[in-house]
Structures are given as structure tokens and as C-alpha cells.
Structure 1
Amino acid sequence: MARGLVIKATAGADAPERCNQAFTVAAAAVASGVPVSLWLTGEATWFGLPGRAGEFELPHATPLADLLAVVLSGGRVTVCTQCAARRGIGVDDVIEGVRIAGAPTFVEEAVAEGAQALVY
């Protein structure tokens, strides 16, 4: 089994290149058969809501909605509990297939044998 990636996106439209890089790496890994867990934190939290990834624009980049769809098709997407709460986001608000979980779950995934954590 391939080494898994736990990717944390900490930026959204406030730092578009960094945000897009996290999604691009996550989607490329999923397409390559690598187990992926993408965490949406900070301003990236908004991309766990329906339609929000479609609003993101970055010239010469694959649309964020397409990248998110790839990750959802073969990986796991998680919105940070505290980040969601600060933004008034609940479990009924997120895209189907996206979960809300906190730091203990992130730590569990990041320290799992064979895992590699990346933070953008």
C-alpha cells in the first residue's frame, strides 16, 4: 500500500496560490492512487460548503471545484471543527462526503504509520 498523505489547507481566497497548491497536490495524489486526507482549516474551511469552490479563481490553475471533486471521489475531506464553529458552519451545511472533525482526529491521521503530513 502506498504511503498516505494528510494535507492541511490553511488558506483560502486570502492566499490563492497556497490554497490551490494544497488542492492540486491532494488531487494529484488521489489520481496516483495515494491515500489522501485533505483538511480544510482557516479560510479554506469555506470550500467545504456547496458552490464555494466554484467561486474560487486562479489564472492558469485547474478549477478548485474540479480538484475537490477528485479528492472527494477517492480520498477524504475534513473541515476543522473549531474553524467551522467560528464561521457558523454545521454538519448539515457541508458538501455530501465532507466531515467535520477536530484536532484529535488530525493528530491520529498525521502520526499514523506510513503517513506524511503536509501543511499549506
Structure 2
Amino acid sequence: MAEKLVIKVTAGADAPERCSQAFTVAAVAAASGIEVSLWLTGESAWFALPGRADEFELPHAAPLSDLIAGIQSGGRITLCTQCAARRGIKEEDVLDGVRIAGAQVFVSEIMPDGVRALVY
């Protein structure tokens, strides 16, 4: 059975420590060979856009753009459908490799045996 970690991050620049923790855990898990699915919801939705991660700063934390690259090298990043719509974000706007999907896909990812989900 393959290990998989699903992380839903709701925080963005409004709660930088919580946001950074979610991205850090996802990147470390991906680097460790664990299949990772990071879901961007709420204010973290903005990080699906090119350049937005470069604007994020938190002392003593890895750059968000580096963490995103690490996550994408060993996992998937998904932007919540409703969160994208509320912010006027369209599929053509997001970073390469980021998909837009909704609750049905999230539930299908967290239900199989061996999957662990975290919400930040």
C-alpha cells in the first residue's frame, strides 16, 4: 500500500505561520517519497497564481516558491473550485501543474485506506 498525505491549507498571508507550516510539511513529505496532495483553499488560493509565492515572507522559513517546487516534484497541488471562483481565478491563470477541483475530488482522495489528511 502506497502512503499518501493530503493537506488542506486554508491560511495564506493572513496567517503566515500556519500557511508556512502546511507548505513545509507537504514539501518534506514529498522529499521523503510520500505521495502528497496539497489543497489550496481560502486565502491560500492566491498562491496558485504565478509570482504570489515570491511575495510571501516569514522569518526563518523556507521560501514558499521553493516549497511549491518541492511539492510539485513529488506530488500535486489543487486549487479549490469555489475558492478560485470567489477570487476570479481561472484555470489559465494558475501555475503550471496546478489543477482546479472541488469537494468531490477532495473526498475521493481522503477516503482510501492508508491516506492521512491534515488541515492547516
- Output the TM-score relative to the length of structure 1: 0.98
**Residue aligned with 1:60, SS:** coil
- The residue aligned with 1:28 is 28
CA distance in 2, matches of 1:72, 1:3: 17
* Residue ranges of structure 2 left out of the alignment (5+ in a row): none
**Shift >3 Å, 4+ stretches:** none
CA distance in 2, matches of 1:16, 1:110: 25
- The residue aligned with 1:113 is 113
Offset at 1:18? Answer: 0.2
* Residue ranges of structure 1 left out of the alignment (5+ in a row): none
Offset at 1:2? Answer: 4.0
Deviation per residue, 1:58-110 (Å, 9 max, x gap): 00000011000100111000000000000000000000000000000000001
**Residue aligned with 1:22, SS:** helix
- Output the TM-score relative to the length of structure 2: 0.98
CA distance in 2, matches of 1:111, 1:14: 30
Aligned residues: 120
- The residue aligned with 1:61 is 61
CA distance in 2, matches of 1:43, 1:57: 15
- The residue aligned with 2:40 is 40
Percent identity, aligned pairs only?
72
The amino acid of 1:100's aligned partner reads I
